[in-house]
Structure 1
Amino acid sequence: MKPINKSKTATHVKGVDAKRTARKASSATTKPQAKPKHLQHPKSAAKPKSDIKPNVKPKTDTKPSNAATKSKVVGEKLQKILARAGQGSRREIETIIAENRVSVNGELATLGDRVELRSDTKIRIDGHLINLATVQKQVCRVLMYYKPEGELCTRHDPEGRATVFDRLPRLNGSRWIAVGRLDINTSGLMLFTTDGELANRLMHPSREIEREYSVRVFGEVNDAMLFRLRKGVQLEDGPALFKSIKNGGGQGINQWFDVTLTEGRNREVRRLWESQGIQVSRLIRIRYGNISLSKQLPRGGWQEMALTDVNYLRDLVGLPPETESKIEQHTQRRRMKTAKIRKAVKRFSGQPSSRRQRHDR
């Protein structure tokens, strides 16, 4: 048996210990390598901040809202309700809402408000309570009015001048709404209604409802001018044109024309002729849609339209037909009013009693 070489064994043990010590040192100083993303466990992957609390709901206002009468989700637009109540066209009502003159159940109304009508709903304009019962029961009525020159298309004039509303019949619970305007020096057909929605749609440019005028011009009119007026000219507020121009007679520099438009901008007929250097000396509106100025109607006179004509206008703008009419109750009153106006026109104008000529030419 060979003797054990102790020195060689000790040297081997020292070598093994040295290797172990070196491995421990290297493992302590070297950082572990991260696993590739596709090998990582989903729970260990970092999450973006927005996904940290996916189930947390945003805070909501817990205060009670007046949803029973005023809401952005339910109900009808306030201006439409007031228009149906005969308080004006939607455009007029939007103006008074913006002027902070309308309240709903004691709260100041703003544009865009919706109201759910209930038995306890109270709407006020300038502090005056509006009768909402007429919103559901309101009968759509339409008047044809022959506006004379010199009358303003406004309800009140600070200078005390005559307005188109002065001669209209009085209403209980609603009021007459003018369908468009005519300037002070223009006469002819005007329509008035108790239905604000009907008035708003009839006036809206998108409906392209025809308006026909008889116009007397002063100046030499040539074919080139008429061509430009039919094709379109540039005005201060945009392009404009006559849909049709028909010669209505006359001689020399005073001629009559019948012109048709499909919109109602301020003084549009006059400005179109002025763009060609021609002055308008007389302007009479004779037709609105299919409604023509009645030959039997005197200046300043009004006539309530029959149900068939009312429904023609409603169908023209996409509104359901009206089923009721009050024209039977006011027929005699209308005739008496027309007779009084005819006498008044004769008295103030100083003209002899005679039937007016067609379109007051």
Structure 2
Amino acid sequence: MAPVKRQRVDKILAHMGYGTRKEIKRLIKEERVQVNGLPVKDPGLNIIPGEDQLFVDGEYVEYRPYIYIMLNKPRGVVSATEDRTAEVVLNLLPPCYRARRPFPVGRLDKDTEGLLLLTNDGRLAHNLLSPKKHVPKKYYAVVQGTVTREDVEAFRRGVLLEDGYCTLPADLQILRAGLRSEAEVTIYEGKYHQIKRMFAAVSKEVIYLKRIAMGPLVLDETLKPGEYRELTDREVTALRELTGR
């Protein structure tokens, strides 16, 4: 394991969401920041995160280079860090999280709800999205029209979309069949509007879509749309093991 590099106190605190560099300089001037029991005088003081003891207002600062957030994305919110016309998922997080510059891992359509992972761990995000990894993504769908066993078989073979692309095999489970059907779909890639286009290819219309799992990560049922929580250590480990991170 590579040794932990020394970092400036103001950089660490900014990364951990304690404010801008200017705000942190004010904290230091007011002697509210301590390292190893002594007040910090210089914002550029270099310390070893996790080894040197850093406190702000008497509270220990636990240094974590990465953050992992599970969000239950609501409908009408864009899976992006910024957008000129629409609300984005980052707006749903408090400033202390936004300061750490997380970004969504992949995209959910604006009108799709459910599990969205936000992180500043670029390597893990890249691995989760890599076409070579075939990370499964499971969705709950409400569909206009009767979903049949023939549709299940079509999804299992791979569906030819309107642009000529044939999808990878997908798992379609019928939960309730009728004029308005309910189903769970697991896909192993992430093409644009893929599930909607797959159902359209078998003459069905998706009227509600919610992602409920991504690899080993399952949407926390206690999270209402718009709510979030940090991943547990076990969840982060499972994602890393899946991708070889």
What's the TM-score once normalised by structure 2's chain length? Answer: 0.70
Kindly tell me: are residues 271 and 215 of structure 1, through their superposed partners in 2, closer, same or farther at Cα, counting changes over 3 Å? same
Which of 87, 91, 108 is the equivalent residue of 1:162?
87
Q: CA deviation at 1:242?
A: 4.6
Q: CA deviation at 1:164?
A: 0.9
For structure 1, the 5+ residue unaligned runs are 1-85, 87-132, 320-361
Kindly tell me: are residues 238 and 149 of structure 1, through their superposed partners in 2, closer, same or farther at Cα, counting changes over 3 Å? same
| Deviation sequence 1:110-164 (CA, Å, 0-9, x none) | xxxxxxxxxxxxxxxxxxxxxxx99xx76222110000111111222222x2111
Kindly tell me: are residues 172 and 165 of structure 1, through their superposed partners in 2, closer, same or farther at Cα, counting changes over 3 Å? closer
Q: CA deviation at 1:272?
A: 0.3
Kindly tell me: are residues 300 and 242 of structure 1, through their superposed partners in 2, closer, same or farther at Cα, counting changes over 3 Å? farther
2:187 match = 261
1:70 match = none
What is the letter of the counterpart of residue 201 of structure 1? N
Q: Would you say 1:245 and 2:172 are equivalent positions?
A: yes
8 Å contact 1:247–1:257 — kept in the other structure?
yes
Which of 101, 111, 118 is the equivalent residue of 1:192?
118
Kindly tell me: are residues 298 and 309 of structure 1, through their superposed partners in 2, closer, same or farther at Cα, counting changes over 3 Å? same
8 Å contact 1:242–1:259 — kept in the other structure?
no
1:214 match = 140
8 Å contact 2:68–2:120 — kept in the other structure?
yes
Kindly tell me: are residues 173 and 299 of structure 1, through their superposed partners in 2, closer, same or farther at Cα, counting changes over 3 Å? closer
SS of corresponding position for 1:202: helix
Q: CA deviation at 1:262?
A: 1.0
Larger-Rg structure: 1
Distance in 1, matches of 2:135 and 2:150, equals: 27
Q: CA deviation at 1:239?
A: 1.1
Distance in 1, matches of 2:173 and 2:211, equals: 14
1:53 match = none
Structure with greater helix percent: 1
What is the letter of the counterpart of residue 141 of structure 2? V
SS of corresponding position for 1:234: coil
Q: CA deviation at 1:173?
A: 6.2
8 Å contact 2:170–2:185 — kept in the other structure?
yes
1:176 match = 102
Which protein, 1 or 2, shows the higher relative CO under an 8 Å CA cutoff with sep ≥ 6?
2
Kindly tell me: are residues 277 and 141 of structure 1, through their superposed partners in 2, closer, same or farther at Cα, counting changes over 3 Å? same
What is the letter of the counterpart of residue 258 of structure 1? E
What is the letter of the counterpart of residue 253 of structure 1? L
> Number of residues paired by the alignment?
184
Distance in 2, matches of 1:221 and 1:243, equals: 15
Q: Would you say 1:279 and 2:201 are equivalent positions?
A: no
What's the TM-score once normalised by structure 1's chain length? Answer: 0.48
Which of 317, 326, 334 is the equivalent residue of 2:243?
317
SS of corresponding position for 1:316: helix
8 Å contact 2:143–2:204 — kept in the other structure?
yes
- Over the aligned positions, Cα root-mean-square deviation in angstroms equals 2.1
Tell me the percent identity: 29
Distance in 1, matches of 2:100 and 2:225, equals: 25
Q: Would you say 1:226 and 2:178 are equivalent positions?
A: no
For structure 2, the 5+ residue unaligned runs are 1-14, 16-47, 50-62
Kindly tell me: are residues 173 and 222 of structure 1, through their superposed partners in 2, closer, same or farther at Cα, counting changes over 3 Å? closer
Which of 212, 224, 240 is the equivalent residue of 1:298?
224
8 Å contact 1:230–1:245 — kept in the other structure?
yes
Q: CA deviation at 1:233?
A: 2.0
SS of corresponding position for 1:207: coil
Kindly tell me: are residues 215 and 241 of structure 1, through their superposed partners in 2, closer, same or farther at Cα, counting changes over 3 Å? farther
